[in-house]
Amino acid sequence: MRVRKRLKQTPLLQVQNISKFYGDLAACLNISLDLYPGEILAIVGESGSGKSTLLNCISGKTGINAGEVRYRSRNNGTIDVHGAKEPVRRHLARTEWGYVHQNPRDGLRGNVSAGANIGERLMGTGSRHYGEIRSQAEQWLERVEIDPCRIDHQPRTFSGGMQQRLQIARNLVSGPSLIFMDEPTGGLDVSVQAKLLDLLRNITADLGLAVVLVTHDLGVARLLAHRIMVMKRGQVVETGLTDQVLDDPHHPYTQLLVSSILV
């Protein structure tokens, strides 16, 4: 994995000592991180480690009990994600952020066409010209390796891998700076996973996207991520450059993960 040089030293996203409790259970405890433009961070751990909860706390989908999440917006300065009003968060979600779900049905509108799924996102950025919207939708379908002739087909007629690629197109068409991904290859067979990973690696590099990626698959983390954060029971136990952590893990839990999974 080549390490991306931080040409811009100001973080795009700053997470400071956030905690999330469910009753007495700490799903996330005192977690901090900085994410820089164009950087991909993988959050890894076993099921129940708190990685998806952390992703939802960072993205504002889930409230937090302590700490702060700050995002450097292109046009609106630095935003306190959890202190911002709902219209501000909705605007971020439509324009500067994307969220790729493990199950594409959670990220797509199943009752409208593939083109309408992409076009809806464009309209959220202010686009109103039907011809331009359709043209961009066709271009993005092609970019994620879906035949543009399927533009008027509903997602339910697509395979699982195609649905996931459509969800990626829907999220990227608006030109976001930051993408959240929750197990984007989960539930897909090995050959489909490999094709999707190649697509994600190429497209994130081409666009210079910052990504927060949740995965239980250390192979996915090695292929895509510049840095890795290992979670256990709601806490971060190790973090660092991906190859360094996976090739020379220091924490016993990370050593166990690496020894049990071929990476």
- What string of DSSP letters covers 123-144? HTTT---HHHHHHHHHHHHHHT
**What percentage of the chain has pLDDT greater than the value 70?**
96
| Paired tokens of 218 | 């250390």
Neighbouring C-beta atoms of residue 230, cutoff 10 Å? 27
- Which two structure tokens, joined as six digits, stand for 259? 């020894």
Q: Is 87 in the same domain as 183?
A: yes
According to DSSP, residue 175 is labeled: -
Boundaries of domain holding 241: 13-96+176-260
Residue 128 is predicted with a pLDDT of 77
**What is the C-alpha separation between 108 and 121, in angstroms, rounded?**
11
CA atoms within 13 A on the CB side of 111: 0
One domain, residues 180 and 256: yes
7 — pLDDT class (breaks 50, 70, 90):
very low
Whether residue 163 sits in one domain with residue 183: no
Average pLDDT over residues 18-47: 96
What mean pLDDT value characterizes the chain?
Answer: 92
Q: Is the pLDDT of residue 125 over 90?
A: no
Cβ proximity of 54 and 239 under 8 Å:
no
Name the band, by pLDDT with cuts 50, 70 and 90, for residue 262.
Answer: low
Q: What is the pTM of this model?
A: 0.92
CA distance 224 to 100: 15
What was the pLDDT predicted at 263?
45
Are residues 126 and 246 part of one domain? no
Alpha helices, DSSP H, located in the chain:
51-58, 86-95, 114-123, 130-143, 160-172, 190-207, 218-224, 242-247, 252-260
User: Within this chain, do residues 208 and 88 fall inside the same structural domain, yes or no?
Assistant: yes
Final residue belonging to a domain, choices 172, 189, 224: 172
Least confident of 1-10, 126-135, 176-185, 214-223: 1-10
Decide if 151 is inside a domain.
Answer: yes
In this structure, is residue 116 part of a structural domain? yes
Q: Domain count for the chain, please give it.
A: 2
Residues 90 and 117 in one domain: no
Is residue 48 a part of any domain in this protein?
yes
Instruction: Indicate whether 1 belongs to any domain.
Output: no
Q: How far is CA 151 from the centre of its chain?
A: 24
pLDDT tens track for 234-261 = 999 999 999 999 999 999 999 999 998 7
SS3 (DSSP) at 196: helix
Task: Provide the CATH number for the domain around residue 227.
Answer: 3.40.50.300
Same domain for 249 and 146, yes or no, is no
